[in-house]
Amino acid sequence: MSEAIDAAVALAHRREWAQLLAVLARTTGDLALAEECVQEAFASALEVWPVEGVPARPGAWLTRVARNRALDELRRRAAFRRRLPLLVTDGAVPSPEDGLDDDRLRLIFTCCHPALSQEAQAALTLRLVCGLSTGEVARAFLVSEPTMAARLTRAKKKIATARIPYRTPPPESLGERVSVVLEVVQLIFSTGHTAPAGPGLVRHDLLDRALDLGRLLHLLMPTSADVSAQLALMLLTSARASARVSPDGRLLLLSEQDRSLWNAGQIEQGEALLVEALRRGPPGRYALQAAIAASHASAPGWEATDWHEIVALYERLFVLWPSPVVALNRAVALGMRDGPSAGLDALAPLLSEPALATYPYLSAARADFLRQLGRVSAAASAYEEALVLTSNDVERRFLLERLGSL
């Protein structure tokens, strides 16, 4: 019984949190108060539901409790005539024809406002949009809970005192603002896909939160090609998540993975979203990355990988997004197409790239090409270099095994 209640609360938490907080933030004009009241509504659900049963409409029940709590607090504050830092809300509801009149979108765009640092944006999004506790957000970014609490407080204070408005951006800045949001979602996804440190390779909880965010954005902005493409990229990438680690916890490369473990449903959804994005305009950064992931997903086996297509896609991606990490991936794909010696040549110019100086995958990629060429001692020192830069336990074990097998 109590397990069923806990599950009902957890489900309501995942489904209703963002909507609840977003509406309360708009109606009270106070983000911190909204957060507190929504938190308390869920706490009282845990107390009341086991006694009175799960309400027929959990969302409505939670809204009522949170709203009453907020009204009490606002009355109390009014009695004391305390001055409050308030959210700048529109007051009047914006014109519905822009299709962006949704409180959850206001909340997301406020959390991901470009006047906040990216780490603050990601932390606020996980806390306020996804409803993670401060402790959970702290663990996601590998900082202590007091540090994360201070970061969140500072960000909320900036929203209030600098008057970051609680609204969806106007059409002329929508594209820019959407890309800031997508970068935050992608950051949460990547953090879950390969945890920067710790025992597990994949943090499924973070992957799921990032996918939830992507689906919500797609629901609310169905005509944005970038939103569709980014969701496609996440689905096509996370489809492989369960196959990336063997039952005994070893890291498995793409070439070693059991492709029957790949999530066919996610691949299908991802491909459909990619097609949708490509129909809307020339491919952007996320569409090209999704196309690369789709190319891997559609190869029946490692040997059937179309490296010509993948190199060509990386070429196009590099034109659009000339980042050193894209250059590294392009060089690796080139090595797969033309052999380890060509791969090594393609990696060579990246060795002096400052942005990659502490990037473990550069050393790991070099090590692998050197190993294939039989250059044992050079390969060994490259694996050692990669080990120094890697904090994820599963990746470290993989590198140590490779080093030992030389």
Partner 1 sequence: MAKYMLLIFGDPAQWDAMTPDEWKAHDAAHAAFHDAAGARVVSAAQLESPPVATTLRAGSDGGLVLTDGPFLETKEGLGGFYLVDADDLDEVTKLAALLPEVRAAHSAVEIRPVVDHG
Residues lying near partner 1 in the complex (CB under 8 A):
83, 88, 113, 115, 161-165, 169
| Minimum CB distance to partner 1 smaller for 177 or for 250 | 177
**Cα–Cα distance, 275 to 294 (Å, whole number):** 11
Phi, psi at residue 88, to the nearest 5°? -85, 100
Closest distance between partner 1 and the C-beta of residue 37, in Å?
24
| Minimum CB distance to partner 1 smaller for 83 or for 279 | 83
| Minimum CB distance to partner 1 smaller for 113 or for 330 | 113
| Minimum CB distance to partner 1 smaller for 26 or for 330 | 26
Closest distance between partner 1 and the C-beta of residue 161, in Å?
6
The residue count for the chain? 406
Looking at this protein, which amino acid is placed at residue 321? Answer: W
DSSP H or E segment with residue 8: helix 2-28
| Minimum CB distance to partner 1 smaller for 88 or for 254 | 88
- Our CA angle for 341, 347, 141, nearest 5°, is 135
| Minimum CB distance to partner 1 smaller for 177 or for 397 | 177
Torsion angle defined by CA atoms of residues 305, 263, 258 and 382, in that order, rounded to the nearest 10 degrees: 70
Distance (Å) of CA 239 to CA 50, 107, 206, 232 = 37, 29, 14, 11
Structure tokens at 361: 């995958």
| Minimum CB distance to partner 1 smaller for 43 or for 162 | 162
Closest distance between partner 1 and the C-beta of residue 1, in Å?
49
H-only helix segments in 29-57: 31-52
Closest distance between partner 1 and the C-beta of residue 225, in Å?
24
| Minimum CB distance to partner 1 smaller for 15 or for 157 | 157
DSSP H or E segment with residue 108: helix 103-111
Closest distance between partner 1 and the C-beta of residue 162, in Å?
5
Closest distance between partner 1 and the C-beta of residue 86, in Å?
11
- Our CA angle for 152, 77, 65, nearest 5°, is 70
Closest distance between partner 1 and the C-beta of residue 114, in Å?
9
H-only helix segments in 125-224: 134-140, 145-161, 171-193, 204-220
Looking at this protein, which amino acid is placed at residue 294? Answer: A
**Cα–Cα distance, 315 to 197 (Å, whole number):** 31
Closest distance between partner 1 and the C-beta of residue 83, in Å?
6
Q: What is the DSSP letter of 243?
A: G
Closest distance between partner 1 and the C-beta of residue 113, in Å?
8
Helix (H, G, I), strand (E, B) or coil at 29: coil
Beta bridge partners of 245: 251
How many other β-carbons are positioned within 10 Å of the β-carbon of residue 119?
Answer: 15
Closest distance between partner 1 and the C-beta of residue 88, in Å?
4
Q: What is the DSSP letter of 300?
A: S
| Minimum CB distance to partner 1 smaller for 172 or for 248 | 172
| Minimum CB distance to partner 1 smaller for 81 or for 279 | 81
Helix (H, G, I), strand (E, B) or coil at 323: coil
**Cα–Cα distance, 6 to 94 (Å, whole number):** 38
Please count the helices (runs of H) and the strands (runs of E) in the chain: 18, 2
